[in-house]
Amino acid sequence: MKRFSILTSVVLASLLLTAAGCSKDSVLSDTPQEPTAEQQEIQAFLETSEYALPEEFHSDQDYEDQGVLAEPDENVVSQDTGEAADFLPWVRFVRLARVRPQTEYVIQVPGAGGEGTADVRVIHHIVGAFIVDNSRDRVVNPFVRQFTSIATRNLMLRKTDGAWTVEKVSPTDILSTNDGGTTIHIAGVGTRGSSGTHPEVRLASPDTLLCPDELPRYAPGDTMLVAARAASSAEDGCWLFLHVHGASYGPHAHVIHWRIPFVRDGSDPNLFFARLPLPNVAGGPRVIHVAVDGIGWNTLFGDETAVYNSRMWSVPCVIVP
């Protein structure tokens, strides 16, 4: 297998935070007010919170395979799709950030919960390039598709004993805004661990606010099972990819970032399944970040005239011993 060695950095977008109770006008104001000391304190808290996507998620440099996708196990996937399953053709890609994402924090204090609460919206503006080899002979001269994307997430915070904590958090909705915007719609995502230790969590909207104990949970060593529905209003359709980002543990701890393609149900072109074994980590709980990444078919397999078309939902999840 050829390695896409010239591709070293991916932007999988950053998880941004869109908080309930903040007005659209406050985000788009041409004359933003200087943040108060309390708002600065909240921003500093969110910049280090485990529920916010780590900075390393902006780059593919942590992929050991430099953008090469893991192949799904057809025998395992058949447990979800039956005998009818469609598999992604050969393709290799990465996303490359042109500049560091511009980040806005829209913070309302007090929040809708009253005194001692805050509603937060975090918005990331991302500019970059999607670099793809879809013919096995473009390692030296791959197709490059420029893009702009915006990512948003909602948070509800509460101050307890003088410290801010996350009371509720939404998935991050990351969508391309170039060339008329994305045509991809993610209709829902469900996930659970293979052990059945924790209940399945289903998300029907990126606006859903979840308490930390309502986030998807897995036991150490579980196989993550994910089902998702997605469609594109464009004729070319789309395909889904599963991303998992977190930290490994032990004497050689480092950042891990896995990416695998979903398998499509052979009888329903909008239904996708993926399975990914998780590490058998000790201690915890450990927060990881899981994303369902929809990419337009023409973005993946088109020629030099194709444009970037993508939509992603990302949510913090927890490995609980």
- pLDDT at residue number 307: 96
- 130, 13 contact by CB (below 8 A): no
- pLDDT at residue number 321: 81
- pLDDT at residue number 278: 86
The DSSP bridge pattern shows strands 286-296 and 310-319 to be: antiparallel
pLDDT 10s digits, 29-76? 444 578 899 999 999 999 888 887 654 444 454 333 334 454 555 544
> In the predicted model, what is the mean pLDDT of residues 169-189?
95
Is the CATH number of domain 24-319 2.60.40.10? Answer: yes
DSSP-derived 3-state class of residue 188:
strand
- pLDDT of residue 262 exceeding 90, the answer is yes
Can you name the residues that pair with 122 across neighbouring β-strands? 105, 153
> In the predicted model, what is the mean pLDDT of residues 315-321?
89
pLDDT 10s digits, 77-136? 545 555 578 999 988 888 887 778 888 999 999 999 999 999 999 998 989 899 998 887
d(CA 263, CA 77): 7
Write the DSSP assignment of 75-118 as a string of letters: HHHHHHHTT-EE-PPS-EEEEEESSPPEEEEEEESSBTTBTTEE
- pLDDT at residue number 119: 97
Residue ranges per structural domain of the chain = 24-319
What does pTM read for this prediction? 0.82
